[in-house]
Structure 1
Amino acid sequence: MRITKLIVVMPLAISVPAFCQSSVTLSGTLDAGISYVSNEGGHGNAKFDDGIARPNTLNISGREDLGGGVVAIFKLTDQFMLGSGSIVPGQSLFSRTALVGVESAQYGRLTMGNQFDFMNESLLFGGNDGGAEYIGGLYDFRNGPFNKLALPNNPTGSFEWDRLSEDLVENSVKYVSPDYNGLSAGAMYGFGGVAGSIGSNNSASFGLNYANGPFGMAAAYTNTKSDVAGAQASVRNWGVGAHYKFDSVVATVLFTTVHNSANGGGVYQGEVAAVYHFDAFWALGAAYSYMKGNSVVDNNHANQVSSSVSYALSKRSVLYVSAVYQRTNSGANALINGVLDPDGASSGPSQFIGRVGFVTNF
């Protein structure tokens, strides 16, 4: 027997009106495959790798009708490594997402907890404007010869530097407006929790989305503060993106930036991507991005090309083949996102990853 969702109807307390129903849904995503890295610290490497096309997650979410079109919501998400079954290093149980709030079609959505900012929500999942969502997954997010960015709490100094994938804001309050003729906006504030200094370690994020038929565009801004060598430093990101959905093709453009006030490091990137759906089963995607750093990161730059072919075995299971190639300027070391070994950067200006994988949702 195949079970795709588990829905539990919670018992009603005596004080709750009979028309109020609550439900809890268990869901998740599993991704695994074999990847070959052409130059990882000077050597080729064939390895089992997981959480690439989609992160491996276990989600527990719930809704309760409060009446008057208002719904109470919560979501808890754990991200883990399928190869070992352990929680992703640096994370803890439900550190991927942990939020609670209320939403309504008339007033919008208000949530509190540990949640994604608008670089992620507006540009990637809300706007569908990033090629990584359709093509290379984790390997197609931003990284490169920019370790001198030295972003705080970052495994490589530049891992996913534009916040489109993994970064969350702890202790945050987030509001997303209703949709007004295709236009919606949002704001978010993360409390730093430093006694005597309200502005220390805080975060702020804003997003704007517009969607009308096949066309959509989005803009986002996020500023996060942290303590660096005893002083407050800000990491600022902003980006804009757009997409257009033809009959069988989805085309996207994306521009994102980062600036670290602690050392003045900055990088920008531009990306174009497209996915062609041959039919209900087969899809072909390709993306190209150009990344350029300022003098703090030695004016390094990188060109990256990604491609994928996927076959839908069912509505929730997909088999795919993907490839990513990065080429940097002479003297720099290529580093495709997702190669997290401390010595995983290429020993030269180019790096290639080929992958065969399988992803399923439940």
Structure 2
Amino acid sequence: MRTTRSIPAAAALLFAASVHAQSSVTLSGMIDAGVTYVSNQGGHSNFRFDDGIGFPNLFSLSGREDLGGGAAAIFKLENQFMLGTGSFIPQQSLFTREAFVGFDSNTLGRLTLGRQYDFMVDSLFSGMNDGASMFGAGLYDFRAGPFNKLAIPENPTGAMDWDRMSGDMAISNAIKYNSPVYDGFSGGVLYAFGGVPGSIGTNNAVSVGLNYAQGAFGANAAYTNQKYIVGGISTSVRNWGVGAHYDAGPFTTTVLFTTVRNSINNGSVWGAQLAEVWHISPFLFLCGSWLYMNGNATVDNNHANQFSAALTYALSKRTLTYVSAVWQRANADAQAQINGIVGPDGMSSGPNQVLARVGLKTMF
């Protein structure tokens, strides 16, 4: 009897809370699909159905309850999936993109707990400094190349998206604080618990970000150190980067510099990127970019240049169609590998790899 009576009592309590506090729950998402031509994938050309490229396929539930005084309770549950197969990614489970709950205040900032993006994403990408991946070829424009010997743990190739900026490598068990904006400046810090008894520093993670935005100009910096246990040995993967953007009428210029170092093998890579976005009309924009990446001796001193271009047309406020092309050229004795072309035969058999893509993306 106690159990049956508790159900209507709980329902009454929830109804009363909804009457006295303004709250909302939002269902949103993004879907992208298209066909990509790859000039050299494991030694052969290939046409492939590819999705989640222009932007990731996401399904999100987010909520906000007004607590008064400019404060609110918030939550977000976000899933990433493959449109072609319907399977969850990453790690083949639900809500691994983001899953957090917390408080948001106009005057005190935001405090959240759960699985969350670090500040390589929050500051550098969301700060609008990665024009190539945001307005260009999407996933293909994030940093990757002939650097698989980096051997980053839990990474599809060992070096895919090596600077973490695509958001595929959110951090679990994290507490995160984002400050309010003061005269254009803001910042944040994240700490993730490793959960290893007797060793509080094992498997943990730390990330910080610093942001500035005023008018047409913005600049951001970020640092992330995530620790792993690999074969019983503790290792850390460190990333840091800086970026800036400037809006000049119909043109937006972005610059970005990012790095990675894996302490277990001392492998490291740095990359510098320049992108230009031309807003030809409210419905049509063109993006071009150049990226240079350079690795140390652990990754055989490999380096690569990457060029990309994309033309996007907005069919409506929510739906866009696009064409894009990417060319990566590595050094003569290396194998090119554009980000997002994964699997045992993802890399080219030589130093060149070219992609061409036609796609459609929509938001809801």
Aligned to 2:125: 124
Equivalent pair of 2:186/2:211 in contact (CA under 8 Å): yes
Structure 1 position 164 matched with structure 2 position 182: no
Equivalent pair of 1:236/1:260 in contact (CA under 8 Å): yes
Give per-residue Cα distances to partners, 1:238-291, cap 9 Å, x unaligned. 000000011101100000000000000000000000110111111000010000
Equivalent pair of 2:127/2:219 in contact (CA under 8 Å): no
* CA distance in 2 between partners of 1:25 and 1:222 (Å): 30
Query: Measured at CA, do residues 11 and 208 of structure 1 come closer, stay the same or move farther in structure 2, by a change above 3 Å?
Result: farther
Give per-residue Cα distances to partners, 1:53-84, cap 9 Å, x unaligned. 11001100000001111011000011111111
Query: Measured at CA, do residues 39 and 325 of structure 1 come closer, stay the same or move farther in structure 2, by a change above 3 Å?
Result: same
Aligned to 1:204: 206
* CA distance in 1 between partners of 2:115 and 2:163 (Å): 18
Match of 1:259 among 261, 265, 270: 261
Deviation at 1:129, TM superposition (A): 3.8
Aligned to 2:334: 332
Aligned to 1:182: 184
Aligned to 2:70: 69
Give per-residue Cα distances to partners, 1:211-242, cap 9 Å, x unaligned. 00000000000000011221211100000000
Report the secondary structure of 1:16's partner residue: helix
Match of 2:312 among 286, 302, 310: 310
Give per-residue Cα distances to partners, 1:135-162, cap 9 Å, x unaligned. 1110000110001101111110101000
Equivalent pair of 1:250/1:274 in contact (CA under 8 Å): yes
Report the secondary structure of 1:126's partner residue: coil
Deviation at 1:18, TM superposition (A): 4.3
Aligned to 1:241: 243
Structure 2 residue runs of 5 or longer lacking an equivalent are 1-10
Structure 2 length-normalised TM: 0.95
Quick one: which amino acid aligns to residue 306 of structure 1?
S
Equivalent pair of 1:265/1:295 in contact (CA under 8 Å): yes
Deviation at 1:130, TM superposition (A): 4.3
Deviation at 1:19, TM superposition (A): 3.9
Q: Where do residues 136-151 of structure 1 align in structure 2 (5 Å cutoff)?
A: 136-151=137-152
Equivalent pair of 1:129/1:217 in contact (CA under 8 Å): no
Deviation at 1:88, TM superposition (A): 2.3
Moved more, 10-19 or 305-314: 10-19
Deviation at 1:11, TM superposition (A): 8.1
Alignment RMSD: 1.4
Report the secondary structure of 2:24's partner residue: strand
Deviation at 1:89, TM superposition (A): 5.3
Equivalent pair of 1:31/1:51 in contact (CA under 8 Å): yes
Aligned to 1:4: none
Dislocated runs of 4+, deviation >4 Å: none
Q: Where do residues 277-296 of structure 1 align in structure 2 (5 Å cutoff)?
A: 277-296=279-298
Structure 1 position 270 matched with structure 2 position 240: no
Give per-residue Cα distances to partners, 1:136-190, cap 9 Å, x unaligned. 1100001100011011111101010001012111000000000001100000001
Equivalent pair of 1:71/1:103 in contact (CA under 8 Å): yes
Structure 1 residue runs of 5 or longer lacking an equivalent are 1-9
Equivalent pair of 2:131/2:253 in contact (CA under 8 Å): no
> What is the aligned-residue identity percentage?
58
Deviation at 1:15, TM superposition (A): 5.9
Deviation at 1:334, TM superposition (A): 0.2
Aligned length: 353
Report the secondary structure of 1:120's partner residue: helix
